[in-house]
Homo-oligomer: A and B are copies of this chain.
Amino acid sequence: MKLNVYAVPDSVSDKDLKDKIVVIIDVLRATSTILAALANGCKEVIPAVEIEEVINMSKNYEKDSFLLCGERNIDAIDGFHLSNSPLEYTADVVAGKTLLMTTTNGTRAIRKAADADEVLLCSMTNVEAVAEYIHNRQKDTVFICAGTDGQFSTDDVVTAGVVISRLAEMVDELELSDLAFVARKIYESSAGDLHGLLKNTLHYKRLIEFGLEKDIEYCLTLNAAPVVAVYKDGVVRTIDNILS
């Protein structure tokens, strides 16, 4: 089984994704937030790149059936129901709703994989579920990290590293690309101290400056939202919802 990691969506071409499982990672915070919402019973999440797009889509939904969600450069968006903090996506707020969401980096990364046939969302909060899914499918996998400001972001790469590390325990024959190898090594060298590893990296520091310690704490909690989230036909749902 071949595993490949891309540090930013822009470096990925469509042919890199052909016949692969594609795993999208934006651990701080978009994929963590979407996974929290799904784990708390929201019906589905529809990622959009632009704010305008979210507002236009909302016209197709009945009042009270949807929520406008997301951020721009960490800040909440005027007039939207929820920001990009996973802690806001509690069951009493999101259960049964369709979430229309745009974020600075994350939703762009998800949309990058729009044409792939098998796309999962991943964060530290569902690494085990993602590793088990890949293990069961026995298929080559590409991890696309959202990155920060279009650049390599350690938080996302090390999240791929956790999944790869788990897969290495389950699968005998893993073939790792260079960045997959580095992702695994960086995670394993941190000896489980993710905060110690990430506290000097850009995205982590930026969220701390915005007072978002609690969001970080949640986003780095392994398996806090243990769902398999599949992006298909423009919509993210849990695999149970798709199969039911």
Q: Which residues of A contact B (CB under 8 A)?
A: 7-8, 10-11, 148, 150-154, 157, 176-179, 181-182, 185-186, 189, 200-203
Contacts and interface: CB of A to CB of B under 8 A. Distances in A.
Contact of A182 (B10, B150, B177, B182): B182
A185 B152 CA distance: 15
A182 B157 contact: yes
Contact of A189 (B181, B185, B201): B185
Contacts of A11: 8, 10-11, 150-151
Given A181-B200, A181-B201, 7 more contacts: A11-B11, A152-B177, A152-B179, A154-B182, A182-B186, A185-B186, A189-B189
The copy count of this chain in the complex is 2
Contacts of A200: 176, 181
A97 B238 CA distance: 65
Contacts of A157: 182
12 contacts: A7-B152, A11-B11, A11-B150, A11-B151, A151-B179, A154-B178, A154-B179, A154-B182, A178-B203, A181-B201, A185-B189, A189-B189
Nearest to A16: B151
Nearest to A197: B185
Nearest to A158: B182
Residue from A10, A153, A182 with most neighbouring chain B CB atoms (10 Å): A182
A151 B200 CA distance: 25
Residue from A152, A179, A186, A189 with most neighbouring chain B CB atoms (10 Å): A152
Contact of A178 (B150, B153, B181, B189): B153
A152 B182 contact: yes
A178 B206 CA distance: 13
A186 B182 CA distance: 7
Nearest to A155: B178
A152 B182 CA distance: 10
A11 B7 CA distance: 11
Nearest to A189: B189
Contacts of A189: 185, 189
